Structures are given as structure tokens and as C-alpha cells.
Amino acid sequence: MRAALNTTFLSLRVPNYRLFAGGQLVKLVGVWMMFTAQDWLVLELSGDSPGALGMVTALQFVPVMVLTLWSGRLADRYDKRKLLVAANAAFAAFAILFAVLVAAGVVELWHVFVSALFLGIANAVETPVRQAFVSELVELRLLPNALALSAATFNIARISGPALAGVLLAVLATPGVFLISTVLAVAPVFTYLRMRPAELHGTDRRAGGDARVIDGLRYVGKRHDLLLPIGMMAVIGMIGFNFPVTLAALAKIEFNAGPSSFGLLTTCLAIGSLGGALAGTRRRTRPGVYKVIGAALFFGVFEFAVGFAPNFAVAALLLVPTGFFSIYLAQGANHRVQMGVDPEYRGRVMALYVLVFLGTTPIGATLSGWWGEHFGVPSSIWAAGLVSFVAALGALAWQLRASGERLRIERRPSRRIRLAVTPVVPRPRSASRAHAEPLAHSGSGVNV
């Protein structure tokens, strides 16, 4: 047990990473409290409109579409730690201003829209810089563990934040939740300032205007091993990851539940997500492409099942494996991109990943809200699962075609069924794939 724990939390031995993880945990608990209270506030102000909920979620992510690639360029040119201090300070300032409006009792629906937009601007700068900054906190051998622990931190907050918000909404009402969450949001500003810059890794910057966005896009365009996970996550992130819209509407409209029950649905999703994050902490190498695609297939199946849940209890239970495969997929795709990119391009490539994964949310959230309003909330969930499953199948077909491999089913002596990948015709590797790891060899596969 001691050895397992030491392996799981290995990156926490690094002082700078401990400060990073602690600040993120405190902030994210507050952020999830804020978003849970915000979703409930929107439904109250709009008369239970899924469309209004989708609009708020869309506005939070519109800045990601517009600013993320520029933020990646900043990350490759300037000190990431200082950029993160500024972005987190701006986020806290916007959150405090909105909390004052809610506490004063003068908040209106358009205030929520404007607040969501400004918080989204701060997040659009912070997210790609933070993703790239993790590689400077630890040495390369610890990077998979550090990324997995960051995902675990996110999901611990996603468990505790909505649960706390659900209780506090009943005890302190909406203004109290917003005031507490804004206090917690300030934490990263202080933890980043306390870090030791001399102990950061790989902090050399490119001079002048060398770090161009177009160069980062060309770099990805030549790398099939990066294009595939980024392309697959563009579809799944846009259509499949709209739980802030669908779960609030499912709880309040479909199951006629209160705020604490909505928090329970979000918590069930987060419990599964935490399991998926912890499952990746023992990873030491770049995840294989078929493992990432397999997680996408399972995610699509379970999200599809949630859409047909007959009652609240079944939906809550199905959200646990849905959450597991959602984060196992997102984390695996993130690791595959992060660990396959040259350091001088990391900021811009991760900005592109954030753009396709989170920046497409305005489209997906608006579509999900519109679909739920016209065809019912459950159908917006099972349709998203179906699209995610088809996207994973498309990625599988693309990989098999590009690699010249094929799938076959093996039966082991232990009677376990194994889906194996074998090459059909060996292909010489082109210059454009010089950075990709060797393709899966005969006998690689996934146990079922």
C-alpha cells in the first residue's frame, strides 16, 4: 500500500508542484461551487429554460475560441508563472464583482451572461498557459504523474464543489455560495507567487516574435499522432462534454429535483472522473492510440445509456462509469499530445488542444440547449453519446488506415477475449512522422 501511494503521489514531493496543486484545489472547489450556483440561478431567472443555460455555458467558452491560440503564443514567449498570476487575479476580480451583484439582490439574467463572458476571457488566457506550465514544474519522467494528479485535483474539486454548493444553496441561499466561492478563487495568486523560479524546468523563452501561431499549426499538421487525438477530441469535446447544460436541466426539468439533487448528479459524475484520473497516475510512458480510442468508445456507450435512464437513481449510477471514461479519455488524449510535442511548441500545441476541446463548447452548449428545449433533455444526452461513439469509430478507422494495421479477436487460455492489433503491410515511416512513436506491433491490444 505504501509503495502504491508513493507512486501515485510522486509529483507531490516537488515543492513547486505542491504549491500548484494546492492552489488549484482551493480555487477549483470555489469555481465548481460558483458554476453550480450559477446554473441554478440561470434556471430561476429564465423560468427553467435549457436554452438560457446553454447560452451561459456558450458565453463562458466563446473567449476560448477567440483567444486560446494567442494565449499559447504568449506561453511560448513569456514567463508562464507571471502570466498565470495575472490571469488568476483577473478571474478573481470578475468573480468578486458578480458576487456583489448577487448579494445585493439586483442580479438579472443579462448580468449572468456578461459575467460568464468576462470569466471566460480570464480562463481563455489561463488554461493553455497552465496546461503547458505543468511541464516546467516537474522533470520529464514525472510529467505523466503530474498531469494525472492535476486531473485528480480537478475532479476532487468537482466532487466537493457541487456537493458543498448543494448544501449551501439550501442553507445560505445563492448569495452566500457566491461570496464563499469568490474567496476561494483567489488562492492560486498567492501560491504562484510563493514558487521558486530557480527550480522550474525548461524556462528558456524564444526571443521577439519567433513563436508564431501559424508555425504551431503547421507543426501539428505534419504529425498524424497529434492530429488524430486532437481531431477526435474536437468532436467529442463539442458534443459529448456538455454536462453543465444537460445535468442541471435533467435534474430540475426531467426529474423535478432540487439543488441538492442536482449537486448529487454532478458529484456522481465527478466520483467516476476521479477514479479515471487516479487510474492514470501510474502511467510512465505516452499512452497508445488504441487505448485512447477505446476510452472514447466506452464513454460514448455510457453517455448514450444515461439518456435512457428511467429515473434519478439509475441516471446517478450510470454517471459514475460515464465520468470514469470521460476523464480517462480526456487525460489520455492530453498525455498523448503533451508527451509527443517538442518543448518549444508545447504552448501553442496545447493551446490548439484546449481550443478544440473547450473552445468548441459554445457550439455544443448552444446546440445541446436548443435540442433539449425542442426534443427533450434525455434525447440531448443520448444523442451526444451516439455522436461521441461514432467519432471514436471514425478515429479507429483513420488510425487503422494510416498505420496499415487491422483488428482481430483473440481468445486466451484463461477464456478472456482480447482485441488485438496486427500490421498488414509494413510501411516506411515518412519524414512528417519522424517524431511519432513506433506504431503498435503485433500482439498489442486491449482486454475485454
Which amino acid would we find at residue 321? P
Question: What is the bridge-based pairing of β-strands 405-411 and 417-423?
Answer: antiparallel
Domain match, 390 and 296 both? yes
Strand-pairing partners, residue 285, are none
Domain match, 59 and 150 both? yes
What does the pLDDT profile of the chain (448 residues) look like in tens digits?
565 555 677 788 889 999 999 999 999 888 888 888 888 788 888 887 877 877 887 788 788 778 878 888 887 788 889 999 999 999 999 989 998 888 888 888 999 999 989 988 998 888 888 888 888 888 877 887 887 788 778 767 766 777 777 778 777 777 888 888 888 888 999 999 999 888 887 655 444 446 677 887 888 888 988 999 999 998 998 888 877 678 777 877 777 776 667 667 877 887 888 788 778 766 667 888 898 999 999 999 999 999 898 888 898 899 999 989 988 898 888 888 888 888 778 778 887 887 787 767 767 777 887 887 778 888 888 999 999 999 999 999 999 888 887 777 666 665 555 666 666 555 555 444 444 444 333 334 443 3
Is there a domain that residue 437 lies in?
A: yes
Cα dihedral sign for 100, 105, 109, 111? Answer: negative
Range of the domain at 46: 2-197+209-403
Domain match, 106 and 219 both? yes
Is there a domain that residue 203 lies in?
A: no
Domain match, 49 and 92 both? yes
Counting the structural domains of the chain, the total is 2
Is there a domain that residue 379 lies in?
A: yes
Domain match, 247 and 357 both? yes
Q: What is the pTM of this model?
A: 0.68
Exposure b/e, 243-272, CB count within 10 A at least 16 = b: bbbbbbbbbbbbbebebbbbbbbbbbbbbb
Domain match, 315 and 413 both? no
Domain match, 342 and 433 both? no
Read off the CATH number of the domain in which 35 is found: 1.20.1250.20
pLDDT of residue 445: 43
Domain match, 136 and 232 both? yes
Domain match, 309 and 371 both? yes
Domain match, 132 and 180 both? yes
Roughly what angle, to the nearest 10 degrees, separates helices 346-357 and 224-239? 30
Which amino acid would we find at residue 388? S
Domain match, 182 and 320 both? yes
Is there a domain that residue 441 lies in?
A: yes
Please name the residues in contact with 222: beta carbons below 8 A apart, sequence gap of 6 or more.
432, 433
Domain match, 187 and 95 both? yes
Is there a domain that residue 290 lies in?
A: yes
Is there a domain that residue 202 lies in?
A: no
Is there a domain that residue 204 lies in?
A: no
Is there a domain that residue 256 lies in?
A: yes
